[in-house]
Amino acid sequence: MRTGEGKTLTATMPVYLNALSGKGVHVVTVNEYLSERDATEMGELYSWLGLSVGINLAAKSPMEKKEAYECDITYSTNSEIGFDYLRDNMVVRAENMVQRPLNYALVDEVDSILIDEARTPLIVSGANAVETSQLYHMADHYVKSLDKDDYIIDVQSKTIGLSDSGIDKAESYFKLENLYDIENVALTHFIDNALRANYIMLLDIDYVVSEEQEILIVDQFTGRTMEGRRYSDGLHQAIEAKEGVPIQDETKTSASITYQNLFRMYKKLSGMTGTGKTEEEEFREIYNIRVIPIPTNRPVQRIDHSDLLYASIEAKFKAVVEDVKARYQKGQPVLVGTVAVETSDYISKKLVAAGVPHEVLNAKNHYREAQIIMNAGQRGAVTIATNMAGRGTDIKLGEGVRELGGLCVIGTERHESRRIDNQLRGRSGRQGDPGESQFYLSLEDDLMKRFGSERLKGIFERLNMSEEAIESRMLTRQVEAAQKRVEGNNYDTRKQVLQYDDVMREQREIIYAQRYDVITADRDLAPEIQSMIKRTIGRVVDGHARAKQDEKLEAILNFAKYNLLPEDSITMEDLSGLSDKAIKEELFQRALKVYDSQVSKLRDEEAVKEFQKVLILRVVDNKWTDHIDALDQLRNAVGLRGYAQNNPVVEYQAEGFRMFNDMIGSIEFDVTRLMMKAQIHEQERPQAERHISTTATRNIAAHQANMPEDLDLSQIGRNELCPCGSGKKFKNCHGKRQ
């Protein structure tokens, strides 16, 4: 539905219809200003129709959020819905969850959220214990000492790596024999991030430095700063080192999800946009939703001029300023769209020098967004906006402006997505109003550099056209063809990301479903815990099945002593002469007695349920956090398997499945150990969770440390079973500490 055709009003019909089910409707917007505006304006209509309306804001308390989600219709931003979903799956008690099951979503500016931000992972993280700020400073200092020949940048894919001379300098700087030795993997990670921070990520384009000396990410599609968001995997810390601001602690991911998988969980999904037709295939393939264009109420009268191409950026901006000044002098309002904050500041200085009063809207003053956009259609108004940050806010024409040709939109370069260009154009010519649009390009623009500006450069030089422009429909078509190629590349990337993320999605759904079952259980969880104990015993005994009889019995005995039973309660004689099946049964029966003894220390049935829940949840959360980290490392490593003619996605799926099964085994092992070995004390209920949590955490840490000191580890192979009896390979258990 074209911009200005009344999407907000039209949305009331499907929202009202789906809200009648009583299962909840989420109206999703790109920012909180639009959530509050639409909820206030449309809320009166819904209230009159007998429906309740809630607004979910980031600053609200869990209780207020819960009330908002309980309403028939809830207005919220996409990010807040995602973070609430993740936080709900980290709570220990069901009453602390705020969301209902995801039922129906209507997404405003659906292309911005489901396409542009599809790859953006929402991450909930906790502090990492390892201090790394010094390494970031060292890597940054080294990278800043490099010459242009020491690194290689691929402009098309925006990747960077060291050249041979850069590698030699790194080995000299860090005093290494071989930079890419397996022992230096961590260091290369810091160097790679420092390279990206210094030579790929640009100040005032990708990020800005706030007055509080913080690095704020700039949303490339809306031009707004993304408060509270940080680049992951150490890139944010590398940028902090580059800019000389305090380096914040690295974090470890506790939970994550992409918008692709978040919105595919809704039973019913729909959306609205003025520019979705170009992404029809992606909406259908990934989200299973069709794109239906709605005709405009009145014919579009806007005149879209052919692109003007200049030889240099300097010549292009000179022409832009001259055009803006001429239109300002006759009173026609002008909206200048830029791709970067840096560009908007540059044009602003040029306009000041030319004596043209104007407003600037970018990531640095987004708080005045609505006010600036509201006045942008008045006679003589000149507004510079980065990536049309005013999406969702109408530009209404002032008195006498129609006679002057309406609002003129000037684009200072083409975006890599046609949709973003169309959104800029769409600010003019709403509801049959007159208007104009004109894009100014140069051979030095990023998009032109990526797709064959060299050939055109020769034409300019031959014709001696350093200050003049080329204008033709053919050029406009060529630029759009280049944009199509970029969009195709980006779609392929998003599709591949989804293939990887689907592995995590399936595993996340299993873990979260089991977690939800534990949280909401109003029953004794003894059968579940006892089943875990039984399976753990089975895994340990089976894991030693091929060992010599004496070695096998010693390993099983160690496991029983240090993880299952009181140390002096079982001897080698108790197990001698028994078959593997009989050993399993013997250990399980003894374990049941210990279990009953542990449970009897708790004062009543409620305390038992509380202990069981917290025990399971704490172990699951710790292991899931480690598993997310391991999957992330696997994903970085698996790409190299493509060189061995293996499909990286298939390898990732197979390896990820194996790791998930290992994690389940590890969860059951730790639940068994903690249940049998935890020191349980009577406490008042309000402190019970905190006490159990502390005990659990301490025991998890002790899981590897608490092993008999007289065991000789020097002769054990990396792939042999660990003598502590955990059932894990030595390299994954006590071998890590060797």
Which residue ranges make up the annotated binding site for ATP?
Answer: 4-8, 394
Q: Using CA atoms in the order 253, 259, 261, 263, what is the torsion angle rounded to 10 degrees?
A: 140
DSSP string, 672-705: HHHHHH-------HHHHHHHHHHHHHHHHHHHHH
CA 563 to chain centre: 38
Residues annotated in a binding site: 4-8, 394
CB atoms within 10 A of CB 517: 11
Record the tokens describing residue 198, joined without a space. 């210094």
SS3 302: strand
Residues 387 and 338 sit within 8 Å (Cβ to Cβ): yes
* Tokens 């980031």 belong to residue: 58
Tell me, rounded to whole angstroms, the distance of Cα 296 from its chain centroid. 36
Tokens of 296: 């405009």
Cβ 677 vs Cβ 699: under 8 Å: yes
Q: Facing residues of 55 across strands? A: 75
**Rounded to an integer, what distance in angstroms lies between the CA atom of residue 14 and that of residue 107?**
12
**CB burial readout 293-330, b (16+ within 10 A) else e:** eeebeeebebebeebbbbbebebbbebbbebbbebbee
Residues 6 or more apart whose CB falls under 8 angstroms from that of 564 comprise 533, 537, 587, 590, 591, 594, 672, 673, 676
Q: 3-state class of 641 per DSSP?
A: helix
What are the φ/ψ torsions at residue 569 (nearest 5 degrees)?
-90, -5
Select from 621, 626, 616, 624 the least CA-distant residue to 673.
616
What Cα–Cα distance (Å) separates residue 321 from each residue in 112, 334, 358, 423, 660? 30, 11, 12, 22, 59
